[in-house]
Amino acid sequence: MSFQFTCHLYLYCSDFNLLSLTFNEFKLEEKILQGLKSMGFEKATPIQEEVIPLVLQNEDVIACAQTGTGKTAAYLLPILDSIVRLHDAEDNNKESHVHTIVIVPTRELAVQIDQQVDGFAYFLPVNSASIYGGVDGMSWEMQKSSLSKGSDIIVATPGKLLAHLSFEYANLNNLKCLILDEADRMLDMGFFDDIMRIIDHLPAKRQTLLFSATMPPKIRELSKKILKNPKEISLALSTPAEGIIQGAYLVHDRDKINLINLLIKEKNLPSILVFAATKSDVKKIEVDLRKNKFDAKGIHSDLDQDQREEVLRAFKNKKIQILVATNIVSRGIDIENVSLVINYNVPQDAEDYVHRVGRTARAESTGVALTFINNKDQADFKNIETLIGTTVRKLALPTEIPKGPDYDPGRKPRYGGRNTNRKRNPNKRFSGKSKRPFKGKGSRK
């Protein structure tokens, strides 16, 4: 199956639609439906069909669904409905307070969700604020004001929210809902204790929603501590969305850049994401692509936050064709209409593969995801295939690319030309540069 055929299949499949319920059927407030209509949202995704009614019934929920399934809207829409109905029932002169706190692992995700609140609540008397680190004194004061004077929805990273809560000016006595988004990633980043300390500041009587892409034992432990009789939802755990057409190329590292050039040259692919393992890989790929006249930008930890946000904004607005990134954008960044995702390196964590390829085929769309497999990454790719429960088709390389390694994931890769099985004398010591044996410290006799 050639890449060209894959692209044709992608275009052919782009019109399929497996969704059923419309948002009108949830009986949400009319102005919420008006906002959804203005954004072009008509039908709910499966996670939205499951979650929205439960949240509207004030149930605690633990939901497991991969990225790209629409889980943000699944909790924001019923929360916005609750806030609007509460505003209508209250005296207009009543003191403002924080209704909902959404805790997320990264600043990028906090900004994104805050922007989504603005979009969904465009016609609503609802306000929101985001709280995260790396800000100046003025931003700190704005965050403080949102917590003390009240903001309907606060989207925050754990560490910065906890820093504010230590000063005891936050007005959380009337908090109605706590939401943990990407809970598995927060625990991977070591935020378990911070989350528990935050919960100590919150009223015990509240609704709690927990969303996670995976369900390891640590998530189960957390859910038992903070949720009450939760309803559990699990949709397509650890598998890519149905609309993703997956393929892989067996290719040596030295040929990967040329392969990218051949795959995307003169193709109608307005939005391409390339994931690499390290920031040095990202920088190299960006330079090589730009040398080949492609409009590419890299995003990695060496960029400051403003620079990263600028690059992401340009990519989302289609001002940049190719975004080259580390895992910094593999989770939690909502970028629509990505035509192609390329895994320049096979991710060592199989779950990261699901999140990476999930950047394409968002919600109702379809997309293409390709992975480059070298000799030493074959066992990791086999683990990915085991996780997702399917064999990813190995595609034939273009004729311009030399033959790659054979796919044999059970074989241990060789990293050099020498005989690594040769027996060595364990008593013989060698210096760093010289191959001559020496007898003692500093001795070369």
pLDDT in tens, 212-263: 877 778 888 899 999 999 999 987 555 666 668 899 999 999 999 999 999 9
At 137 the three-state DSSP class reads: helix
**Does residue 363 share a domain with residue 329?**
yes
Position 322 in a domain: yes
- Give the burial class of 153: count Cβ atoms within 10 A of its Cβ; 0-12 exposed, 13-18 middle, 19 or more buried: buried
Do 177 and 121 belong to one domain? Answer: yes
- End residue of a domain, out of 218, 235, 252: 235
**Separation of alpha carbons 148 and 350, rounded Å:** 42
Within this chain, do residues 227 and 305 fall inside the same structural domain, yes or no?
no
Query: At which of 377, 394, 411 does a domain end?
Result: 394
The answer on pLDDT for 409 being more than 50 is yes
Q: Nearest 5°: phi and psi at 324?
A: -105, 130
150 and 203 fall within a common domain: yes
Residues 181 and 60 in one domain: yes
Query: Has residue 17 got a pLDDT over 70?
Result: no
Pair (188, 288) in one structural domain: no
In this predicted structure, the answer to whether residue 364 has a pLDDT above a threshold of 70 is no
435 is a domain residue: no
pTM: 0.65
Mean pLDDT (whole number) for 262-286: 90
**CATH number assigned to the domain comprising residue 159:** 3.40.50.300
Instruction: Compute φ and ψ for 289, nearest 5 degrees.
Output: -65, -40
Residues paired with residue 371 on neighbouring β-strands, in sequence order? 248, 343
Is the model's pLDDT at 180 over the cut of 70? yes
pLDDT at 65 over 80: no
Q: What is the predicted pLDDT for the residue at 386?
A: 87
Domain of residue 327 covers: 244-394
How sure is the predictor about 291, in pLDDT bands with cuts at 50, 70 and 90? very high
Helix axes 107-120, 305-316, angle to 10 degrees: 50
The Cα-based distances of 420 to 382, 411, 426 in angstroms read 25, 15, 15
- Of 326-335, 403-412, 428-437, the poorest mean pLDDT is in 428-437
pLDDT range class, residue 413, cuts 50, 70, 90: low
Structural domain total, the chain: 2
Q: Report if residue 439 sits inside a domain.
A: no
Q: What is the layout of strands, in order, in the sheet containing 61-65? A: 128-131, 153-156, 100-103, 177-180, 207-212, 61-65, 231-235
- Residue 168 sits in the same domain as residue 286: no
Res. 45: pLDDT tops 90: no
The tally of CA atoms less than 13 A away on the side-chain side of residue 442 is 0
If asked whether residues 272 and 387 sit together in one domain, one would say: yes
Q: Whole-angstrom Cα distance, residue 428 to residue 443?
A: 14
Same domain, 180 and 293: no
Q: Which residues are CB-neighbours of 365 under 8 A, at least 6 positions away?
A: 14, 243, 336, 337
The pLDDT value given to residue 239: 62
Q: What is the pLDDT of residue 14?
A: 35
Predicted pLDDT at 67? 64
By mean pLDDT, which of 47-51, 164-168, 187-191, 428-432 is the weakest? 428-432
Q: What is the pLDDT of residue 362?
A: 53
Whether 142 and 183 share a structural domain? yes
pLDDT above 90: residue 287: yes
Confidence of residue 191 (pLDDT cuts 50, 70, 90): very high
Tell me: pLDDT of 80 over 80: yes
**Tens digit of each residue's pLDDT (9 = 90 or more) over 108-150:** 889 889 988 998 998 999 999 999 987 677 888 999 999 998 8
In the prediction, which pLDDT does 437 show? 47
Which secondary-structure segment (H or E) carries 419?
none
Q: In this predicted structure, which of 30-39, 87-96, 204-213, 300-309 has the lowest mean pLDDT?
A: 87-96
Least confident of 2-6, 82-86, 208-212: 2-6
Q: Are 213 and 356 in contact (CB under 8 A)?
A: no
Packed helices 192-200 and 217-226: angle between N→C axes, nearest 10 degrees = 0
Q: How far apart are the first and last CA of the chain?
A: 63
Strands, E assignment, 48-190: 61-65, 100-103, 128-131, 153-156, 177-180
Q: Would you say residue 90 has pLDDT above 80?
A: no
Q: Which of 18-27, 72-81, 232-241, 380-389 has the highest mean pLDDT?
A: 72-81
* pLDDT value of position 361: 54
Domain shared by 165 and 36, yes or no = yes
Q: Examine residue 49 and state whether it is found in any structural domain, yes or no.
A: yes
Indicate if 87 and 230 belong to the same structural domain: yes
